[in-house]
Homo-oligomer: A and B are copies of this chain.
Amino acid sequence: MNIADQHRSVGRPREFEEDRVLDAVMNTFWNQGYEGTSLKDLCSATGLHKGSLYQAFGDKHQLFLKSLKYYMEQSFKEVAASAYLHDSPMANLRSLLNEITTKCIEGEGCMVVNSMVEMAPHDQEVKQMIDQSYAMKQRFLTDLIDRAQRDGEITIKQEPDRLAAVLMVTLAGLAATVKGFSNTDHISHVLEDVLSSWA
């Protein structure tokens, strides 16, 4: 019995899996935004009544924060794995960017970028979460770039963190642009093109 279950050992047991609900909530906020999502939307997405949602996760805002955190963890896990497939840092960087691009196009964007645009300017908590996630990802990229530079596979005309900043902005741009167009042919190769210009 772990700590998370401990306070549930007494009383009526939950009829839902927390992660499954969080996943449904996440998806709803992801493609409708915070203001565009009503509690009714969340109820029909999760199959729960709002009373249950409130009791289990708190109000709409807390629910959003938790689903955003969930998104950040899940999406990073899903994607970071592809940066360890090869021996060469450059190959790893390439497959990481390809993976992100593919996921981004399939999933029609990125919940972090959506939240950055919609909420960050008016929501300190969201802003803070994004700040952390951004810093971590930037370090991740900087490290890969640094090693690729040492291997001589990337130009050393720029510092690794500046190149990483370019990637971060380009990735955000990809996530934003994907939402505007049905045909994504003209943007699917953008990350590759940026990378190839660093040869």
Contact = CB atoms under 8 A, between A and B. Distances in A.
Interface of A: 31-33, 35-36, 108-109, 113-114, 116-118, 120-122, 127, 130-131, 134, 155, 157-158, 162-163, 165-166, 168-177, 179-181, 186-187, 189-190, 193-194, 196-198
Contacts of A36: 35, 118, 122
A176 B173 contact: yes
Given A127-B180, A197-B198, A118 B173 contact: no
Nearest to A33: B118
A177 B187 contact: no
Nearest to A133: B180
Contacts of A187: 165, 169
Contacts of A172: 172-173, 176-177
A177 B169 contact: yes
B180 A130 contact: yes
Contacts of A122: 32, 36
A32 B166 CA distance: 27
Contacts of A163: 193
A175 B176 contact: yes
B108 A179 contact: no
